[in-house]
Amino acid sequence: MDSLSINSLLEDLKNPDATVREQATRKIWRIWFQQKGIYGLEKIDHSQKLLDAGETADAEKVLTQLVNEQPDFAEAWNRRAFLYYSIGNYQKSLADCRMVVQINSVHFGALHGMGLCYAALGDYGEAIKAFQRALKIQPYSLVNQKLILECTLRLS
């Protein structure tokens, strides 16, 4: 990844102009998905088609093979985390989100996912911390702001 362009895009996420933020977000996601070239992208696309078709076990196999082949491919871990979250396996999802953040510390999607997992597990304090970390990267993220408020209410 070109760290200069990523850093510039990360700064754009803090821009008051919503259009600038949206463009930066799209570009960052594109960079993350294309990190490992066409092979990784095709595997992720294939797993998503399987998931959309309800073939969760096959989608998991594709993503597990991908993370085993390319353990530094953060988006492969992130997609598997999403799959686990979508089937209610929050512990596995959380573990994969942690791997994503270990590989890519500014992965706001994985930080958001961690918050969702912690909230689903009833650990609202940890959920708030994860959403706050995501908010440092994307300060205008209304969804993370809302989730922090919801988790704070659940703690009261």
Average pLDDT over residues 99-126: 98
Please give the model's pTM, rounded to 2 decimal places.
0.94
**What is the share, in percent, of the chain residues with pLDDT greater than 90?**
96
pLDDT tops 80 at residue 116: yes
pLDDT at 25: 97
CATH of the domain at 9: 1.25.40.10
| Tens of pLDDT, residues 13-42 | 999 999 999 999 999 999 999 999 999 999
What does the mean pLDDT of the chain come to?
96
CA angle at 34 for the pair 131 and 66, rounded to the nearest 5°: 85
| Tens of pLDDT, residues 32-80 | 999 999 999 999 999 999 999 999 999 999 999 999 999 999 999 999 9
Structurally, the chain folds into a number of domains equal to 1
Distance between CA 19 and CA 108 in Å, rounded?
18
Tally the C-alpha atoms within 13 A of residue 29's C-alpha that lie toward its C-beta: 10
Q: Which domain holds residue 20?
A: 3-155
SS3 content of the chain, % helix, strand, coil (to 5): 80, 0, 20
pLDDT at 97: 98
pLDDT at 5: 84
pLDDT at 2: 55
